[in-house]
Structure 1
Amino acid sequence: MATSASSKLNKAVKQQYMELPQGDKVQAMYIWIDGSGEGLRCKTKTLDSEPKTIEDLPEWNFDGSSTYQSEGSNSDMYLIPAAMFRDPFRKDPNKLVLCEVVKYNYKPDENNLRHTCKQIMSMVENSHPWFGMEQEYTLLGTDGRPFGWPSNGFPGPQGPYYCGVGADKAYGRDVVEAHYRACLYAGVQICGTNSEVMPAQWEFQIGPCEVSGDWNGAGCHTNFSTKEMREDGGLKVIEDAIERLSKRHQYHIRAYDPKGGLDNARRLTGHHETSNIGEFSNGVANRGASIRIPRAVWKDKKGYFEDRRPSANCNPYIVTEAMVRTCILKEEGEQPTEYNK
């Protein structure tokens, strides 16, 4: 959808105001996931002093009837601060605050998947699960087409773009460089970035952390290991985990995108370095498999494996929770097990 001329604001004028002193006050931007399970919402609160820990941040509320999260007759929802980062947009001492959402009765919202994920992770803390998530994304222009693509055609076929160098191969590097530096400033555990197979497509990697056309689609390949996998002889533990994953393929497909597999059906075609959504597969250094064991891991007989099925718009909490349930808690069947709290 085209944007109107009135949508174009003067960034230089804004910068004049952003350079004004803010005194002793601090702006804290509270961020949460809305009722769609994908969309982000935010609102900013003024604090009298800079918070040093998450405990220094107050709870807040919002109108859930305007975010697909409650009825208008009982619309109050509450924001519970869960993680705090330096704000790379407003800069120090301002903060970005990631929040859990609870209802009027303080029960978790249906899309508060961090809550259940945290419970599952607490059950396996002795296994020290590590996750490294590779977030792929595509830059889009205001016309809705991939950034830098010809307005009436397509760029040359893929091949020279992956980890490409030069303005004719890497489209939008300025955005990527700004994003990388913003993550470092904020304190996000970013460990790398690269241009991807499709022009205007990029990837950044987070971790390791404990908690249409002839083009590659975008996913969120998830690397996973436990303490046993990282120790000598860990390859056997990796192979056992993959065997359990093979018997629970449909459960993971449903967990790996917000539409229960419908979004992934367009990407996991068996082409363009993907597996087929209807079949489970694994292999060493095989980027066309559901699960890839890196060649170095196979050689060292220990390390990690990569689940290549999660979609680019996956919820990382449900992806990591599903992997722990199957690989460590050894759950079986098509539904997650309920545990006594």
Structure 2
Amino acid sequence: MTKFKLEYIWLDGYKPTPNLRGKTLIKEFESFPTLEQLPNWGFDGSSTQQAEGNSSDCVLKPVAVYPDPVRTNGVLVLCEVMMPDAKTPHPSNTRATILDDEDAWFGFEQEYFFYKNGRPLGFPETGFPAPQGPYYTGVGYSNVGDIARQIVEEHLDICLAAGLNHEGVNAEVAKGQWEFQIFGKGSRKAADEIWLARYLMQRLTEKYGIDIEYHCKPLGDTDWNGSGMHANFSTRYMREVGGKAYFESLMAAFAEAREDHIAVYGPDNHMRLTGKHETASIHQFSWGVADRGASIRVPHSFVNNGYRGYLEDRRPNSQGDPYQIASQILKTISTVPTDVEAQKAA
């Protein structure tokens, strides 16, 4: 028997953006535990904005398990928060009620800033560094500094060793800003891995004395870019059938549901979606081929392949809850009948 360090990870009840929480349980198993072997656990919800002090018990229900490469015999246990009956999802549990479809594929582009002493990493103590331009996919000390790439590479290795479907990294447009990409088949799978990748990044940077800033516009109304979490998405029908008529109906549905999407695409998005810096206005919906200033960017490959493939919603921001983002995208897609459904209805 081996004693395993089970890191139970969950989202707290803070609004508008939940925080990641984690605590360790030691349990003995003959080998690396399966999800079915992991017990429910509890925590003090009055300390996480999820319960009152006079009735503070909340339940952690394991829903996904991954190896923790950083710890000897470590296990990452992603959990949903349940009410004390262990059956009813807690109101803060956005994972439990989302739409999910294993044939719906999502790729999230998570942007963020490294922060140290209240400033983006690489910024002088006062004022600003040289304007944006050389930092995006930049190389060299003057562009990316001496520690950011080390953290990014270490994070990449940890995520891959944990079994997360991490697909790439790059320095972003603003100084101190970076991005990683996560892909998953199914909204829950993709969102689970974004949250775990965020957790691993935040835990990693503890030893460097650096914070991760996810706010979508941390530098306010300046010429410095904000941070997004662009959502690339496709369904089986979009990949295999598609077609221009279906695409146009889909875009009409996204335009109609604009406010529903904005409501769950992350707080303070009005600060980022200004129509500047490669963003569409928060008050409008648009799409365009290879247009980084559109609400939804349509890749050339999509059009060239007979309007089949994936699309990129550029409106979700870096603070967004990927569970809600993916679910809303699926909800809007579900309102558009496919040719097969239209024929059945006729």
1:112 aligns with 2:58: no
1:146 aligns with 2:120: yes
* Structure 1 residues 180-236: Cα deviation after superposition (integer angstroms, max 9, x where no partner): 111001111111111111011111110043232211100100001011111254454
The whole-number CA distance in structure 2 between the counterparts of 1:238 and 1:208 is 23
The whole-number CA distance in structure 1 between the counterparts of 2:51 and 2:336 is 35
Alignment-derived partner of residue 141 in structure 2: 167
- Counterpart residue identity of residue 141, structure 2: A
1:136–1:202 contact (8 Å) kept in structure 2: yes
Alignment-derived partner of residue 226 in structure 2: 217
Alignment-derived partner of residue 83 in structure 1: 64
How far residue 264 of structure 1 moved from its aligned partner, in angstroms, is: 0.5
Gap change, CA 1:52 and 1:283, over 3 Å in 2: same
The whole-number CA distance in structure 2 between the counterparts of 1:235 and 1:321 is 24
The whole-number CA distance in structure 2 between the counterparts of 1:45 and 1:327 is 41
How far residue 296 of structure 1 moved from its aligned partner, in angstroms, is: 1.9
- Counterpart residue identity of residue 86, structure 1: P
TM-score for both structures, normalised by structure 1: 0.83
- Root-mean-square deviation over aligned CA pairs: 1.6
* Structure 1 residues 218-259: Cα deviation after superposition (integer angstroms, max 9, x where no partner): 0100001011111254454333222200011011000111x4
- Which among 180, 183, 200 is matched to residue 176 of structure 2? 200
Alignment-derived partner of residue 237 in structure 1: 246
% identity of equivalent residues: 46
The whole-number CA distance in structure 2 between the counterparts of 1:152 and 1:321 is 42
* Structure 1 residues 270-304: Cα deviation after superposition (integer angstroms, max 9, x where no partner): 10111111111111111111111012222222111
Alignment-derived partner of residue 323 in structure 2: 317
Gap change, CA 1:52 and 1:238, over 3 Å in 2: farther
1:129 aligns with 2:104: yes
Gaps of 5+ in 2: 188-219, 338-346
How far residue 168 of structure 1 moved from its aligned partner, in angstroms, is: 1.2
Greater mean alpha carbon deviation, residues 97-106 or residues 217-226 = 97-106
How far residue 88 of structure 1 moved from its aligned partner, in angstroms, is: 2.5
Gap change, CA 1:82 and 1:235, over 3 Å in 2: farther
Gap change, CA 1:233 and 1:70, over 3 Å in 2: closer
Alignment-derived partner of residue 3 in structure 2: 25
Gap change, CA 1:280 and 1:31, over 3 Å in 2: same
User: The residue matched to 2:120 in structure 1 has which SS?
Assistant: coil
1:305 aligns with 2:311: yes
- Which among 18, 29, 39 is matched to residue 19 of structure 2? 39
How far residue 48 of structure 1 moved from its aligned partner, in angstroms, is: 0.8
The whole-number CA distance in structure 2 between the counterparts of 1:96 and 1:86 is 6
The whole-number CA distance in structure 1 between the counterparts of 2:94 and 2:121 is 32
- Which among 269, 278, 281 is matched to residue 283 of structure 2? 278
Give the paired residue count.
Answer: 297
